[in-house]
Structures are given as C-alpha cells and as structure tokens.
C-alpha cells in the first residue's frame, strides 16, 4: 500500500531564504508525483507535476525533483517571500487516472 510522508511538518523561515521541502513514498511504481499549495480554508492549487520518467520540473522560483528509485522528491523554493506562506502537499499517482495519495503536508511560514 502506497504511503506518502512529508518532512518537516512545519517550517518557519525569514524572508529571502532558500528552502527545501521533502516528500517520500514507499512504492516506486508511480505514474507521476504532484506538488500542491493550500492556503488556509481553501482548495489546492497545482504547482508542479513530475512524470515518472522525468527527474525535475521548474516553474518560476519553484523546482521539484524526483528520484523514483529511492522514493523521494524535493520542492525547492528560491528567495522565499511572505506570500509563499501556505501548506505544501505532495501526492503520488500509483494507480493511474490521477487517483492521488497525499502526504500530510508541510506548513510553511515566511516572516518579513
């Protein structure tokens, strides 16, 4: 059974820092891994999708990497800003049709 773990559970950093969020999964047979952002009381916003054949994806200040063999992904946020404060969730599609299994998330606070 696929399980997804995110470390750390919470993170507080000063503005301008570069930071790394970690995600691990137990079964390497995945179609893709996705990173989402969730603001308090809101739905999820898709950030990046990495297919199983890819090693990384970039969007603006965000870079996500995937090491399928070791069951790990990282989300790198460059030059963090207070507007980046949110919960970041990673999810894997193991069964196709985008049936996602989520981690519990990392709650990020970026203070001025």
Partner 1 sequence: SQTIHQWPATLVQPVGSPLSLECTVEGTSNPNLYWYRQAAGRGLQLLFYSVGIGQISSEVPQNLSASRPQDRQFILSSKKLLLSDSGFYLCAWSVGRNNQPQHFGDGTRLSIL
Binding region for partner 1 (CB under 8 A): 4, 31-32, 34, 36, 41-46, 49, 51, 89, 91, 93, 96-105
* Contact yes or no for 105/89 (Cβ under 8 A): yes
Residue nearer to partner 1 on the CB measure, 54 or 74: 54
Q: Distance (Å, rounded) from C-alpha 24 to C-alpha 58?
A: 19
Could you tell me the smallest distance in angstroms from the CB atom of residue 36 to partner 1?
Answer: 8
Could you tell me the smallest distance in angstroms from the CB atom of residue 43 to partner 1?
Answer: 4
Residue nearer to partner 1 on the CB measure, 71 or 105: 105
* Contact yes or no for 73/33 (Cβ under 8 A): yes
Tokens at 80, concatenated: 């963090």
CA quadruple 22, 46, 41, 83: dihedral positive or negative? positive
**CA dist 13 → 66, 77, 88 (Å):** 24, 12, 15
Residue nearer to partner 1 on the CB measure, 44 or 110: 44
Could you tell me the smallest distance in angstroms from the CB atom of residue 15 to partner 1?
Answer: 28
Residue nearer to partner 1 on the CB measure, 33 or 80: 33
């Amino acid at each position: 059974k696929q399980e997804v773990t995110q470390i750390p559970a919470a993170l507080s950093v000063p503005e301008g820092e570069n930071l790394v969020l970690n995600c691990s999964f137990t079964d390497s047979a995945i179609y893709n891994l996705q990173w989402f952002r969730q603001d308090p009381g809101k739905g999820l916003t898709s950030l990046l999708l990495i297919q199983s054949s890819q090693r990384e994806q970039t969007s603006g200040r965000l870079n996500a990497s995937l090491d399928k063999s070791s069951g790990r992904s990282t989300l790198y946020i460059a030059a963090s800003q207070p507007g980046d404060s949110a919960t970041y969730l990673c999810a894997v599609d193991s069964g196709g049709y985008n049936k996602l299994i989520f981690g519990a998330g990392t709650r990020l606070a970026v203070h001025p």
